Structure 1
Amino acid sequence: MARRKVYSGGLPFGVVVLDKPIGITSNGALSVVRRVAGNNRAGHMGTLDPFASGVQVVCVGQATKLIPHIHSSTKAYSASLTLGSATDTADHTGEVILSAPVPILTQGQLDVVALSLLGHQMQTPPAFSAKKVAGVPSHVLARENRAVELAAVEVEIVELSIQLTSDPSILAVDVVCSRGTYVRTLGETIAQRLGTYGHLTSLRRTSSDGYSIDDCVEIDSLSRDSFLPFSKVLSSFDTMFIEPGLLQRACHGGPIPLSGGRNFGEGGSDSLVALLSDDRSLGDGEVTFDNLIGIYGVSGDMLIPKIVFMAPSL
């Protein structure tokens, strides 16, 4: 039998979903989680700007190993876009650098722009961002008035709604997009296509990596009881329960044959499988850290380990 994972010193091990408040950085929120988790390691699954609020998914302990492999999840945001001026940060915290009149707009015009921005596209991250240039966050260089050139990256706008509000200079924007999309840059693009400039005056992440605002805990209420099962985090993976005779081999990091002729996608580098034990002494039959053996990649008719969590028996 494989051994149940041991939580060193009783420290939390899993996922906590914060409603990050306006005014603190994502790293500041991580510091709060680490203190509650007894200085256990922690990492978030997507930066939120200080002026933004909303869903901040934080992995704690060995769960941080999952973060690089959760790459297909979408995120959703609600934003207010103020037209007529652009700032150096693309939000209301920056200095106005350009201005232009706000045209009279109809909802039909907004719908056309929204439709035109759907799908895969290249997007250049803003200079004031967490992207690193030679190991230095680009926002640090930008605040020193140093030139910042960031490479464009491919993003996807899955859903986009742009609505008029009672103020003709403010638009309500709701977007579902791929990980790595900058809504500040999207706001600038929307304004440009409407023939003016724009910047965000509010931004709230409403869902991320399978979690929504309803799953969140306020940062002031965070405790060790706030740590959640992480089954939603694994929603981007296929799952497979291992045959009992292969459990020790899997726990030692050995390759595992696909059972029952199962076919996971095309077997490419993006095909990842969460390998689970069906030993009820290690869990209740659901996807939990207790019965997760590891994350495996698909190579032909074999599963090759990427991360192994479960310790073999002695």
Structure 2
Amino acid sequence: MVKRANRRRVDGILLLDKAVAVSSNRALQQMKHLFQARKAGHTGSLDPLASGLLPICFGEATKISGFLLNADKRYQVVCRLGVTTDSGDADGEIRQRRPVPELERGRIEQALAALRGPILQVPPMVSALKHQGQRLYKLARQGIEVERPPRAVTVHQLRLESRPEPDCLALSVHCSKGTYVRSLVESIGEDLGCGAHVIALRRTALGPFAGESMVTADAMQVLAARGGLAALDRQLLPVEQGLAGWPDVHLAEEAAHFLVQGQAVWTPGLPEPGLVRVFGPTDFLGMGRVGEDGRLQPHRLMRTD
């Protein structure tokens, strides 16, 4: 075990391909230990049942985790019709079995269409949301169910990809933050009159990370054994790559100096008011905000020492 005092400063983002049956926190701790990192966090938990993209933010990258938590996500999901569970997925206890009717593609499409766009979704009891200070999943384990107010989410895309079995649907989902795919599947099952639950779930994209290659924990272990910490560090993406989508502002040395001291600065060519990525002459400085007064204000800056 590497003692905390001997851990090193590591900055960057690792696109981890989380394995099934591993919790997001366990995956995080494995990578933090492997990198001997002082500070690390993940963005957007995945259920143990789920696999796929789990960005691990090291060091200064933890400052942008909130931006990634608010980002859209994409999933591939397989659901089984005719069976409902108390968790909405295959890890839960079976609640009910119902016959699956003959379903034409048009009828399935009708159920999917009803869930596209802005919708109100009731979060599942088996979730990390809190009720009066307690996690809902902990209450669910005690057999307690509480009222959950519906939340506004957006389903940008919900598409039937295939029918791997007569009682299974393979779907692709592109959704906003806060969307529970398990709840989507349950809604589809109820609309079809037979119920449904998730049997496989894989996250394929999160915010700006949509086409990059993910790495598995096993592959990282092999890399560490062959090339050490330097080989691991080469797998990290720069912090600013997690903030794609905002305009860039490049500052001269003097303006960059004042900004990192916490002062608002003016520089030619600033975009409209709002968040921007800020670069100095050589480094990414962090997120700034262009104010209504036309000056650039510090918003979430990186350590530059």
Note the alpha carbon deviations across 1:8-60, whole angstroms, 9 max, x for none. 96532110011000011101111112102324221111110001100111111
Determine the structure 2 residue equivalent to 1:74. Answer: 72
The answer (yes or no) to whether the contact 1:18–1:56 under 8 Å persists in 2 is: yes
Q: When the two structures are superposed, what TM-score results if normalisation uses the length of structure 2? A: 0.87
Structure 2 residue 297 is the aligned partner of structure 1 residue 304: yes
Structure 2 residue ranges without an equivalent (≥5):
1-5, 225-231
* Alpha-carbon distance change, 258 to 192 in structure 1, aligned in 2, over 3 angstroms: farther
Structure 1, 239-248 or 219-228: larger mean CA deviation: 219-228
Please say if residues 8 and 38 of structure 2, whose CA atoms lie closer than 8 Å, have aligned partners that are also in contact.
no
| Cα displacement (A) at 1:249 | 0.4
Check whether the contact 1:46–1:179 (CA below 8 A) recurs between aligned residues: no
Normalised to the residue count of structure 1, the TM-score between the two structures is: 0.85
State the SS of the aligned residue for 1:295.
strand
Q: Which residue of 2 aligns with 1:117?
A: 115
Q: How does 1:83-232 map to 2 (within 5 A)?
A: 83-212=81-210, 214-222=212-220, 223=224, 224-225=232-233, 226-232=235-241
What residue is the counterpart of 2:248 in the other structure?
Answer: 239
Is 1:295 matched up with 2:287?
Answer: yes
Shift of 1:180: 1.7
| Matches of 1:164 and 1:71, distance apart in 2 | 30
Native 8 Å contact 2:271 2:290 kept in 1: no
CA RMSD of aligned residues (A): 2.0
| Equivalent residue in structure 2 for 1:272, among 275, 279, 291 | 275
Residue 47 (str. 1) matches residue 45 (str. 2)? yes
Question: How far apart, CA to CA, are the structure 1 residues paired with 2:34 and 2:143?
Answer: 37
Equivalent pairs counted in the alignment come to: 288
Report the Cα distance in structure 1 between the residues aligned to 2:176 and 2:99, rounded to whole angstroms: 32
* Pair 87,258 (structure 1): closer, same or farther in 2 beyond 3 Å: farther
Range 157-166 or range 14-23, more displaced: 157-166
- CA 1:174/1:129 → structure 2, altered by over 3 Å: closer, same or farther? same
- Rounded to whole Å, the distance in 2 between the matches of 1:160 and 1:19 is 23
Kept after mapping to 2: 8 A contact 1:127/1:149: no
Q: Following the alignment from structure 1 to structure 2, what is the Cα–Cα distance between the partners of residues 33 and 161? A: 34
Shift, 1:191, TM fit: 1.1
2:8 is the counterpart of 1:15: no
8 Å contact 1:246–1:256 — kept in the other structure?
yes
Range that drifts further, 70-79 or 246-255: 70-79
Separation in 2 of the partners of 1:163 and 1:244?
52
Distance 1:158 1:66, change over 3 A: same
Q: Quote how far apart the aligned CAs of 1:212 are.
A: 4.0
Question: Is contact 2:7–2:37 with CA below 8 Å preserved after alignment?
Answer: no
* Residue equivalent to 1:65: 63
1:276/1:294 contact within 8 Å kept: yes
Could you tell me which of 248, 256, 265 is aligned with 1:256? 265
Question: Quick one: distance in 2 between partners of 1:212 and 1:93?
Answer: 28
- Tell which deviates more after alignment, 172-181 or 218-227: 218-227
Aligned to 2:229: none
Change (3 A) 1:68 1:258: farther
Deviation at 1:164, TM superposition (A): 4.6
Shift of residue 214, structure 1, vs aligned partner:
4.7
Note the C-alpha offset of 1:229: 2.5
- Spell out, residue by residue over 1:256-306, the C-alpha distance to the aligned partner (whole angstroms, 9 max, x if none): 23532x333xx3xxx3111111x2xx3xxxxxxxx1112122320122222
Matched to 1:165, the amino acid is R
Secondary structure, counterpart of 1:211 in structure 2? coil
Change beyond 3 A, Cα 1:166–1:216: closer
Asked if the contact 1:161/1:175 (under 8 Å) is kept, the reply is yes
Secondary structure in 1 matching 2:144: coil
Gapped regions of structure 1 (runs ≥ 5): 1-7, 283-290
Q: State the secondary structure of the residue aligned to 2:244.
A: helix
Query: By how many angstroms is 1:190 displaced?
Result: 1.0
